[in-house]
Structure 1
Amino acid sequence: MTLRADADEPAERPRVPLSRRRVLRAAVELADRDGLDSLTMRRLAQEVGVEAMSLYHHVANKEAVLDGVVEVVLEEVMAAVDAVEAPLPERDWRAALRARILAAREVFLRHRWAPRVLETRTETSPAVIAYYDHVVAVLRAGGFTFDLAHRALHVLGSRALGFTQELFRPDGARPADAEAAAMMERMADRFPNIVGMLADAVHDDPEGTLGFCDDQFEFEFALDLILEGLERRRAAGA
């Protein structure tokens, strides 16, 4: 006699096979949720529901995981850049590149830990090279010589990927209002110009804090300055 399962009993969910791709996606999700420091081999194994030793069939060690999550994030960046709506570079290279950089920035804002990982890699990922190759293609289509495109990459730096170290906040921390006000008072005699600048910023935006900067506005402001300067050099034939 063949026994049949109770019709009301839920069917067992099929087990998703472990793969390098699945491990890396889980690593990205873990870092997004709990921060980069949570990304250990033990925690990652728990995340995918296996013993830690099983991970080593797919990633050699934690450094291999970090290399892999850079690949995953850069794949997201390339997909976002490919999907962006912007003028053809031949018609308006600045608008084309600006839109692509801001699309890349949106990806890195979803994965705020990723720049830290990217900057610690000892070898440049092919995915990073592919992205910068795309940037050079936009510049070339806009009339840049290879020499000026090379200089443009140096000027843009990590900003081409949509992130940069913020002034006064290398760890990304934003001081509380009371802490920032006390800091300004301590600095007033020694650094009057900086304190005057900060006080003016707070006066212009009284609802703001002495984090005082709208990071997105400041990023776009600096990006536009760079692109405008590069256009002047391009138009002058530099």
Structure 2
Amino acid sequence: MSGQEVEGAARGRRVGLTRSRVLDAALEIIDRDGLAALSMRRLGAALGVEAMTIYHYVPNKDALLDGVLEEVFRQSYSRRLRSGSWQEQLRSYAHPLVDQLREHPGIVPLMVQRPALTSQTLGMMEQGLEVLHAAGFPLPRALQMIHALIGLAIGHVVAGGADDSEDRLGHLAQEDLSTFPLVGRAVQDAGGSHLPEPFETALDAMIRGFEADLSTSA
């Protein structure tokens, strides 16, 4: 290790730098200014250290991006139920994941671009496969289910991430729907009724499909 690297590592220790703090700071930059604004130089400035110091906590920019994704998955995963039926556990993972992506929308393009296959995310996947395989799903199908669930969450946020069907109906009701009679009737018939949010509707349909697969293969 060169003298400059030793000095950088010592400076990092003096300011209480940790990998977790580095990832949190990177996520803050993405939240505030977008993914394109994240650089090692800017991250170092935000943490009060030279950019080279960051490399003692993440070896390169790719590892930094993987780590940021890992942190988002970790935060969502930490909120999930650890018991219950496989359906309940899928729901308890899906909703916090959507919440995390709504809180950090700048991370969504990165999540689409990168698989983020780190030891932590693979560990989460391993636990998910354990639950689904124990429920009777073949492992390849269980893996596909996990990917489908994550894709549903990402797609929902990319599409706007609205969490209130009544808001959507309200916007439609303000339009002139005279030439769209079925749309107008749907809005009128739904008036005053409490509808599930779009993500919940899609998640229900997905889980029912998984249940049908399981009953067919049994």
- TM-score normalized by structure 1? 0.63
Q: Which residue of 2 aligns with 1:48?
A: 47
In the TM superposition, residue 170 of structure 1 has moved relative to its aligned partner by: 5.0
Residue 210 of structure 1 aligns with which residue?
A: none
Query: Max radius of gyration: which structure?
Result: 1
* 1:117 equivalenced with 2:110 (yes/no): yes
Q: Give the counterpart letter for 2:118 in structure 1.
A: S
* Cα RMSD after superposing both structures: 3.7
Which of 202, 205, 212 aligns to 1:222? It is: 202
**Number of the residue aligned with 2:88:** 95
| Conserved 8 A contact 1:93-1:138 | yes
Residues 80 and 104 in structure 1, CA contact (< 8 A), matched pair in contact too: no
Checking the alignment, whether the CA contact within 8 Å between 2:83 and 2:89 is kept in structure 1 is yes
Out of 125, 131, 138, the residue aligned to residue 131 of structure 2 is: 138
C-alpha distance in structure 2 between counterparts of 1:122 and 1:164, whole Å? 13
Amino acid at match of 1:76: Q
Are the aligned partners of 2:101 and 2:154 in contact in 1 as well (CA < 8 Å)? no
Match of 1:232 in 2: 212
Say whether residues 1:105 and 2:98 are aligned partners: yes
- Name the residue aligned to 2:75: 76
- Aligned partner of 1:5 in structure 2 is none
Letter in 2 for 1:219: F
Percentage of identical aligned residues: 32
**CA 1:227/1:55 → structure 2, altered by over 3 Å: closer, same or farther?**
same
Q: Which residue of 2 aligns with 1:62?
A: 61
By how many angstroms is 1:69 displaced? 0.8
Partner residue, 1:9: none
By how many angstroms is 1:222 displaced?
1.0
Q: Figure out how many residues of one structure are paired with residues of the other and give that number.
A: 194
Give the aligned partner of residue 26 of structure 1. Answer: 25
Change (3 A) 1:16 1:235: same
Q: Is the 8 A contact 1:148 1:234 kept in 2?
A: no
Matches within 5 A, 1:136-215: 136-146=129-139, 148-153=141-146, 155-156=148-149, 158-159=151-152, 163-166=153-156, 172=160
CA distance in 2, matches of 1:122, 1:102: 20
Following the alignment from structure 2 to structure 1, what is the Cα–Cα distance between the partners of residues 136 and 67?
Answer: 35
Partners in 2 of 1:200 and 1:217 — Cα distance? 19
Higher helix share: 2
Cα contact 1:20–1:58 (8 A) shared by 2? yes
Change (3 A) 1:118 1:51: same
Name the TM-score, length of structure 2 as normaliser: 0.68
CA distance in 2, matches of 1:122, 1:148: 18
Give distance in 1, aligned partners of 2:42 and 2:186: 43
SS of corresponding position for 2:17: coil
Any stretches of 5+ residues in structure 2 without a counterpart? Answer: 1-12, 163-167
- The residue identity in structure 2 corresponding to 1:107 is Q
Compute the displacement of 1:99 (Å). Answer: 1.8
Distance in structure 2 (CA, Å) of the matches to 1:67 and 1:30: 15
1:171–1:224: structure 2 CA closer, same or farther, 3 Å change rule?
closer
Give the residue type in structure 1 aligned to 2:101. F
